[in-house]
Structure formats: structure tokens, C-alpha cells
Amino acid sequence: MNIIDVKNLRKTFTTVKRGQGLKEAIKSFLRPETTTKEALNNVNFTIKEGEIVGLIGPNGAGKSTCLKILCGLLWPDSGEATILGMQPWKNRVKYVQHIGAVFGQKTTLFWDLPPLDSFHLSKDLYAIPAAEFEERKQILIKLLEAEDIAKQPTRELSLGERMRCEVIQALLHNPKLVFLDEPTIGLDLISKEKLHEFILDLNKKQKTTFIITTHDMQDIEKLCKRIIIINHGTIIYDGPLEAIKKKYFTDKHIDITFSEQVKTFSHKGCKVLTKTPYKIQLELDTRTTPIQTLISHLLKQYDVADITVSDPPIEEIIKKIYRE
């Protein structure tokens, strides 16, 4: 069964161009010059119950706009969306009872109150029966290990701690469908892993459907069997992660700090991205050279102070997809 059915969604934003200084301000007031930006350009997809779909793309691609429309926070210019049998921006009050949403850059918790108090406001807002609320609250707090942090004022929490509480808040009313916009931005590794485990668990046990936007390759690899890649408001890929992972997600970035000066460096499968006498950043093609091979070569041949392995930014992967 399709839980989400999106057809020909379009959204443009019109903004007034503003110059610097008073003269320009008056000019733009008298004769405003506008620019329009196509945030979504004919977007189509369907999502089945129980899927976890990653919506990925560079900054400004239209991901947040898409989620905001699907949550009923924004109206599209044209197009249709049927979600859980409803039109999000039409019967919004009824609709929001069935969805959960976390927008990573914005908090839905009250800043000066402990999250626990915000949770109780959710109970009233969604008219959750008291017994059910208590039970879900306890389960969620336990799963996200938030016993102590939920009692501190939100403003005192770290980003990772706050995000765990945001997720609890979004799930208290037991939504069938959850939108997560950059939920792991700025999270430490442990919080990130907790969130991953939690999402997978909920998906497995309750068939909760998730759409997640992220810049983080670990989120994608851990959570999403299917990804939708969006660029300039247009979907450029929609399908299994596996199908493009082998082709495009094979590069790693390796940052090496040496304890000695290194004049030149070359190795099979490696491209030097930046170099100073003590530091090199490499792009490694793991199809030709496994990470272990490179690292053992480095440790054998050089006096190495530090090595970090990371994924290239999404932007680079998308450029690569375009090139081919």
C-alpha cells in the first residue's frame, strides 16, 4: 500500500532583491526587483508503508521544501500529494495527528522548560489518553536514554541530547509516518548511533515509515535501503541504495598527519587532494585499493601521527553522477 503518493509537485519562491545601503533600500521599496527560485520542479514519487527512504542532495536542492510541503507546513504552487489518504495542506488539523516531524535546525521544545514539560503539552495537543501517554513516554525515554536530560531545561542540553528529546516529542502520539529533516546534524557519534538503532527498531516493530533528509553517508548506509537524490528541485535518482553504492559511493577521503616532512606521495588508487609538508588529504578509490592496504603501507613507510577516514561530501558524489 502506498502511504505517500506525490504527483507533479512544484514550488517556487519569489524574493525581493535587496541592495546595500539606504539608497538601495528606498529603490527596492519603490520599485521592488524580484527573483524567483524554483525549489521543486515537478517532483513525483510514491512510498510504501514500512519504508525508510533517504532524501539526499546538495544544499539548496529542495529537500526541506519537499518535507515542509509533505508535512502541510507549506503549500505547493501545483501538484498533488496523498498521504495516509489525506491532503496534507488541506485537512491539516486532522493530518498532523498521524505524522511526526523533526526539523533539525528548529526546535519544537520550549527553550526554558525541561523537555518533560513539553512532552506533557504534546499530550494535551494531540489528546493522547493518559495511560497511553505515560507508557509511550516511558518507552521512548528509555530507548533514547533520556531519563536525566528530559528533566533539565532545554537550553542547557547539548545538540545531541536535545535532538533525542525532539525525537521523543515527535513520536509521543505514535505516528505511522515520520519526517526527519537533518536529524543528525552536529550529533556526536554515540547520539547518532542511538538514533539509528531507535529508528530501525521502531521501523521493524511497528512498521513506522520514515523519510529522512541527511548529509551524512553513515545515516544513509545505516538506515536507507532506498534513496531519492534531488538536485535543483529535480529528482535525479530514485531507487535502491545498493544499485548506486557500488558505483558512486566507493571513494573515501583519508586525512593523514605525519610526524616527519613528506615531500611526495603516491599510491595506487589514491589522488592527492591537498598537501602540506606534514599533512595530506587523499581521495581513495576503494575498488582498486582497500583502506587496509593503504593504511598498512602508510604505517610501514612513514612516521604517521594521525589518520582519519571519512566519506566525501554528498556534493561530490552528485557531481560524479552527473559527469557520467
Ligand X SMILES: Nc1ncnc2c1ncn2[C@@H]1O[C@H](COP(=O)(O)OP(=O)(O)O)[C@@H](O)[C@H]1O
Nearest-approach distance from CB 62 to Mg ion, in angstroms = 8
56 binds ligand X (CB under 6 A): no
Q: Which 104-143 positions form the footprint of Mg ion (CB under 5 A)?
A: none
Closest CA to 236 of 311, 320, 178, 177: 320
In the β-sheet with 2-17, what is the strand arrangement from edge to edge?
A: 33-48, 2-17, 78-83
Looking at the DSSP bridge assignments, the partners of residue 40 are 11
176 binds ligand X (CB under 6 A): no
Asked if 145 and 200 touch (Cβ cutoff 8 Å), the reply is no
Site string for ligand X, 2-41 (x = CB under 6 A): -----------x-x---------------------x-x--
CB atoms under 10 Å from CB of 270, counted, come to 18
Looking at the DSSP bridge assignments, the partners of residue 275 are 280
54 binds ligand X (CB under 6 A): no
Residue of 46, 59, 87, 91 interacting with ligand X (CB under 6 A): 59
Nearest-approach distance from CB 60 to Mg ion, in angstroms = 8
Closer of 63 and 123 to Mg ion (Cβ): 63
Count of residues that interact with ligand X, criterion CB under 6 A: 12
The interface partner of residue 252, options being Mg ion, ligand X, none and the CB cut-off 5 to 8 Å by kind, is none
Looking at the DSSP bridge assignments, the partners of residue 272 are 282
Nearest-approach distance from CB 190 to ligand X, in angstroms = 26
Nearest-approach distance from CB 226 to Mg ion, in angstroms = 20
60 binds ligand X (CB under 6 A): yes
Could you give the CA distance from residue 116 to residue 146 in angstroms, rounded to a whole number? Answer: 10
Phi-psi region for residue 78, left (φ > 0), alpha (ψ -120 to 50) or beta?
Answer: beta
Taking only Cα atoms into account, the Rg of the chain, rounded to an integer number of angstroms, comes to: 23
171 binds ligand X (CB under 6 A): no
Asked if 145 and 168 touch (Cβ cutoff 8 Å), the reply is no
For Mg ion, the binding residues (CB under 5 A) are 63-64
For ligand X, the binding residues (CB under 6 A) are 13, 15, 37, 39, 57, 59-65
